[in-house]
Chains A and B, each alone.
Chain A
């Protein structure tokens, strides 16, 4: 790319404006500059993210198989530290549905990871699972903070409702922690979309396993239990990306990859592509998606060849490698993985 000294000293928002108003040639150069600048900042952030602080008590983990859950009531504040501890591991239900839903959802997520993938919590060393509910006022979101905490808003009732109602949402957020401890995928562009997709995949698998659904029986929707009327019937569809609600613009293949500066380069948009690859893999194999397809995706996530800046194509190659090593080079599982990536037009080398 040609060097643009002017572009290098300008803030990103002004660069974006110039890109919108400039010629096609200038637009292309400016967008490349923005991407490069973002990449440098993310590389620095990535190094810091691997040094994830372990909450107190994390080193007392036993032999595994039992989660260590704590649910805190944020009482509608936006404080970024845990509020009042309202339910901890082993305690019975309390008079707050959100607290109990978070507690139960974390338990089911822990069980998927332990029973099927033999992983002991977020860091595979029994890390405490901390859920912070009633975050903010009518807050339309749930998120992972990168420091061991999962926050859940109550929703405004129009876009979203209580986000703890979604078992797939809880599985999604906890999986962001797993990803941070494994591939630590940079939250931008393709690696960011892959990060989001992996959370959708394992969030969906927690729900499918709980409901005892085969791939054919599952609805493959994300967020169906937390949407309000404006976003009904769901936030995303792994089966048919782009069809979940009237605003859903997820692509289903690489021909329709969305280039945008919004949402860290469309991480929640382009995740539709690897989401659909997983769906096709699972539906081709017909059985329970958390078994062979889930194992292959989990193996790939934990493979050191999957680096923070991994592209869809690189991740696809690693999934195929694991399908072959786990089930055989000419296995139906390997063929299904290839069919999955073929369907979304990601070339697997």
Chain B
């Protein structure tokens, strides 16, 4: 499986993009990706209206012919997903 993460927004307004093969991820993050293929994990609350400069994350999971997209907005990112997003963000490059 391949993953593409786009982090957009933030005070800097800079899109950051990472493309990763799931084989390169630790086992627990591979398990999480498998879960995300079938379950849209969301945080405990909706992102609050009136906020500004918060990040949003768009994760595409490419599995064979299938592509699944998941979307999260700060601060409503589930704690279970944060380590994966942090790991992908560390590999991300500015998009423009």
Contact = CB atoms under 8 A, between A and B. Distances in A.
A257 interface: no
Contacts, number: 103
Given A143-B74, A249-B96, A187 B52 contact: yes
Interface string B14-28: 110000000000000
A219 interface: no
Interface residues of B, number: 29
Given A13-B69, A196-B52, A137 B12 contact: no
A199 B52 contact: yes
B50 A247 contact: no
Interface in B27-53: 48-53
- Sort chain A's interface into a size bin: 35 or more
A159 B51 contact: no
B54 interface: yes
A291 interface: no
Nearest to B71: A13
Nearest to B10: A141
Given A236-B13, A262-B8, 13 more contacts: A13-B58, A45-B50, A48-B50, A49-B49, A140-B10, A144-B53, A145-B51, A146-B51, A196-B52, A223-B11, A249-B96, A263-B8, A268-B11
Interface of B: 6, 8-15, 48-56, 58, 69, 71, 74-75, 77, 79, 82, 86, 94, 96
16 contacts: A48-B49, A78-B75, A140-B10, A143-B55, A145-B75, A146-B49, A147-B48, A169-B11, A176-B53, A187-B52, A196-B52, A231-B12, A235-B11, A247-B14, A262-B6, A267-B13
Interface of A: 11, 13-14, 45-46, 48-49, 52, 78, 80, 137, 140-147, 159-160, 163, 169, 172-173, 176, 180, 184, 187, 195-196, 199, 223, 230-231, 235-236, 247, 249, 262-264, 267-269
